[in-house]
Amino acid sequence: MSTAPSARSGGPSSGSGFLRDCLVCPDHASPLEPPSGHDPASGMPWPDGEIRCSEGCVFPVEQGIPRFVERDNYAAAFGLQWRRFRRTQLDSHTGVPLSQRRLERCLGMTLDELRGKKVLEVGSGAGRFTELLVAHCDSVVSADLSDAVDANLENCMDISPYLLVQADLRKPPFRANTFDVVICLGVIQHTPDPEQTIATLAAELRPGGRLVIDHYAYRADRFGALLAFFSVHTPLRWIAKRLSPVAGLRLTSAYHRISDPIRRRTCRYKQLDRLVARIFATSCYYETIPELPPEICREWNELDTHDSLTDWYQHKRKPEQIHATLERLGFVNIWCEKGHRGGNGIEAHAELGRGS
């Protein structure tokens, strides 16, 4: 178990040469020239400047990170969220290996087994999984659409060299058919078209490579789903996701401030709490994740309340649908299950068929 990633062990010579070669222009798939004098194998941050493709495209490097997207996009609220709650869910902060357990379960292998593999993590947020990946492999590439990359950089750059970019997974700036493992956790349900997203992730894998994903699931109990719909959460979400990221965060934090002390008392009594949660519909983990220290749990509740009220897309799927999508894309040895504690709903891993 490794809840606290070790300090930076690498340097220009120990970083992977792979970090030098995997970036390509998202428009032309041609190699990209990093800012002069910088060796990507030395890790992050990059010197600010420009990267150029041989066809003439230019992309900025700002605050140490190559940026391939406009800063204002549908994931902007996530960017603010992860900068505000930069360390909340990191195992190195909580002292409890919740992220490691979830990651290893989804991977279907231990983190040690990732050593030597080329790993792509997409939608990396503040880096609850990145910090573990970077501590265990020397060829980690991480990407997120939002400014969450700024939080990720601060959290992970001192652990070991890796490559971090701000990019859209629907137009990835990486060489196709390249990675041994592609990890995308907590993300696909928040993209416009989950099936298209899974197909794009698959295109980054080499034949035989492993895809590791999860997805929100439909609730099994229909009465529960109906109750959840007729709750303050529904109209509040309608409003909060349409506000600016700053106003959205203010609203959800104020709501959490009122609700959390009430839910902290009622959550011990399941039936009562079910009713109270119609009005005080904030996330509440005091009973469900008792390992978390109460102050960190309070922060985690506030973070997840914001997440569930401001994410623009919130798709749901059945395990059979995820399984069918993977099969259609040529995956084999598919593991796809619903309902693991501490997970997002459906979790899956599968290998890309050698003929795909």
Ligand X SMILES: C[S@@+](CC[C@H](N)C(=O)[O-])C[C@H]1O[C@@H](n2cnc3c(N)ncnc32)[C@H](O)[C@@H]1O
Partner touching 161 among ligand X, Zn ion, none, CB below 5 to 8 Å by kind: none
Rounded CA-CA distance 82/237 in Å is: 19
Alpha-carbon dihedral 49, 50, 51, 52, rounded to 10 degrees = -150
Q: Which is nearer to Zn ion, 51 or 164 (CB)?
A: 51
Q: Which is nearer to ligand X, 196 or 266 (CB)?
A: 196
Determine how many CB atoms are found less than 10 A away from the CB of residue 270: 9
Q: Cβ of residue 343: shortest distance to ligand X, in angstroms? A: 11
Determine if 50 is a binding residue for Zn ion (CB under 5 A).
Answer: no
SS3 content of the chain, % helix, strand, coil (to 5): 40, 20, 45
Q: Are 82 and 125 in contact (CB under 8 A)?
A: yes
Q: Cβ of residue 173: shortest distance to Zn ion, in angstroms? A: 10
Q: Which is nearer to ligand X, 252 or 276 (CB)?
A: 252
Determine if 28 is a binding residue for Zn ion (CB under 5 A).
Answer: yes
Partner touching 28 among ligand X, Zn ion, none, CB below 5 to 8 Å by kind: Zn ion
Any long-range contacts for 108-117 (C-beta under 8 Å, 24+ apart)?
108/210, 108/212, 108/335, 108/349, 111/2, 111/135, 111/136, 112/136, 114/181, 117/180, 117/181
Q: Cβ of residue 135: shortest distance to Zn ion, in angstroms? A: 33
Q: Cβ of residue 261: shortest distance to ligand X, in angstroms? A: 25
Question: Phi first, then psi: what are they for 152, rounded to 5°?
Answer: -60, -45
For ligand X, the binding residues (CB under 6 A) are: 75, 78, 82, 89, 122-125, 128, 143-146, 148, 168-170, 185-187, 190-191, 307
Determine if 53 is a binding residue for Zn ion (CB under 5 A).
Answer: yes
Q: Which is nearer to ligand X, 59 or 276 (CB)?
A: 59
Determine if 57 is a binding residue for Zn ion (CB under 5 A).
Answer: yes
Bridge partners of residue 174, in order along the sequence: 23
Q: Which is nearer to ligand X, 276 or 309 (CB)?
A: 309
Q: Cβ of residue 246: shortest distance to ligand X, in angstroms? A: 16
Provide the token pair at 24: 């390509």
- The region of 23-31, 44-52, 104-112, 291-299 touching Zn ion under the rule CB under 5 A is 23-31
Determine if 33 is a binding residue for Zn ion (CB under 5 A).
Answer: no
Q: Which residues, 6 or more positions from 204, have their beta carbon under 8 angstroms from its beta carbon?
A: 120, 172, 174, 176, 177, 178, 179, 182
Q: Which is nearer to Zn ion, 30 or 266 (CB)?
A: 30
Q: Which is nearer to ligand X, 18 or 85 (CB)?
A: 85
Partner touching 236 among Zn ion, ligand X, none, CB below 5 to 8 Å by kind: none
Query: Closest residue (Cβ) to ligand X?
Result: 125
Q: Are 215 and 322 in contact (CB under 8 A)?
A: yes
Alpha-carbon dihedral 268, 270, 275, 277, rounded to 10 degrees = 60
Question: Phi first, then psi: what are they for 352, rounded to 5°?
Answer: -75, 125
Cα–Cα nearest to 277, from 264, 289, 291, 263:
263
Q: Are 65 and 149 in contact (CB under 8 A)?
A: yes
Q: Which is nearer to ligand X, 144 or 351 (CB)?
A: 144
Q: Cβ of residue 61: shortest distance to Zn ion, in angstroms? A: 16
Cα–Cα nearest to 26, from 70, 76, 63:
70
- The region of 46-54, 103-111, 172-180, 291-299 touching Zn ion under the rule CB under 5 A is 46-54
Residues between 132 and 171 with contacts to Zn ion, criterion CB under 5 A: none
Q: Cβ of residue 313: shortest distance to ligand X, in angstroms? A: 8
Question: Where do contacts with Zn ion occur on this chain (CB under 5 A)?
Answer: 25, 27-28, 53, 55, 57
